[in-house]
Structure 1
């Protein structure tokens, strides 16, 4: 398995991420939230215009994860307060359980080390047991719970998880 992380920088890549997002969200989240909320969240946060806005003016960096030329997932993050906020990390269904989370975790830790960031934090749906288990295995711990109103009568009911990074010795 040769995983490559390609920074998303052009419209073709943004469209690829948006298509991946729609497929993954509609497949994965149907057991956790309603179809209406999935559609709303994909349109609001993972559509081409939303991703473009996040990259151009909200400080997010997106990476497409590929095995050779095959897209297997994507991630997005931004730096804030000396930490990395991992906003999005998704792997397509047919590629789960193949070690991509470990590769992504190592990649993110390397980026944090290069940028002098001390922690990675994220939010995860509190009923998303499989993802929570993966994050815990990677060293994340639950630090609090939060309910965020995202509009149109929908909320995100999440755990905030955080991983403290061990400083790299020089």
Structure 2
């Protein structure tokens, strides 16, 4: 049975609250085996709280999309178009929806956005110990281009791979 996946641009306070709730649930479930609970809470507050998401949308050029499966929130994406590439800042899916092809379908949605906007690639950062997500990205044509350690304050760092997927131009 193929469930319907749709994407809705986050524009309302209600959508921002839904996104922050999804972040809280997903991060606390998925990242606890990778980083400490203290770092999870710090990052949720700094990057995925209602005020942080509102600021990213309103002042920093980010676009958030809710991923809806049969109309129910299942995850979310955050992107930031750049000069020639699309930065995939956030890509999170509830555990119940993982392993069912929704991630690959979301990457297809992003590739289509790149083509519409004439962007050549999608790039992202992913924790170097997040093997399941890295595997999904690699299956969908991303490759590791470098490692990166970023100080995010509070005594925490993000120890990431930078991955990139080339997207054929609309003319190709």
Decide: shared fold, TM above 0.5: yes
Give 1:20's match in structure 2, choosing from 19, 22, 28. 22
Residue in structure 2 matched with residue 39 of structure 1 by the alignment? 41
Structure 2 unaligned spans of 5+? none
Look up the SS of the partner of 1:27 in the other structure: helix
Work out whether residues 34 and 129 of structure 2, in 8 Å CA contact, stay in contact via their aligned partners in 1: yes
1:80 aligned residue: 82
Quote the Cα distance in structure 1 between the aligned partners of 2:93 and 2:42.
20
Matched, 1:29 2:31: yes
Partner of 2:143: 141
Paired residue secondary structure (1:124):
strand
Among candidates 48, 51, 60, match of residue 49 of structure 1: 51
- Distance (whole Å) between structure 1 residues aligned to residue 171 and residue 81 of structure 2: 22
The answer to whether the 8 Å contact 2:116/2:170 transfers is: no
In structure 2, the residue matched to 1:163 is 165
Contact conserved, 2:34 with 2:130, CA < 8 A, in 1? yes
RMSD: 0.9
**Match for residue 63 of structure 2?**
61
The TM-score normalised by the length of structure 2 is 0.97
Give 1:102 shift.
Answer: 1.4
Match of 2:91 in 1: 89
- Report the 3-state secondary structure (helix = DSSP H, G, I; strand = E; otherwise coil) of the residue aligned with 2:132: helix
Query: Does residue 127 of the first structure (1) align with residue 139 of the second (2)?
Result: no
Deviation at 1:135, TM superposition (A): 0.3
Distance in 2 of aligned mates of 1:150 and 1:169: 39
Contiguous gaps of at least 5 residues in structure 1:
none
Deviation at 1:69, TM superposition (A): 2.2
Aligned residue for 1:110? 112
**Could you tell me whether the CA contact under 8 Å between 2:87 and 2:122 is conserved in 1?**
yes
- Give the drift of 1:67: 1.0
User: In 1, Cα distance between the equivalents of 2:83 and 2:146?
Assistant: 18
Tell me what 2:73 maps to.
71
The alignment's TM-score, normalised by the length of structure 1, stands at 0.98
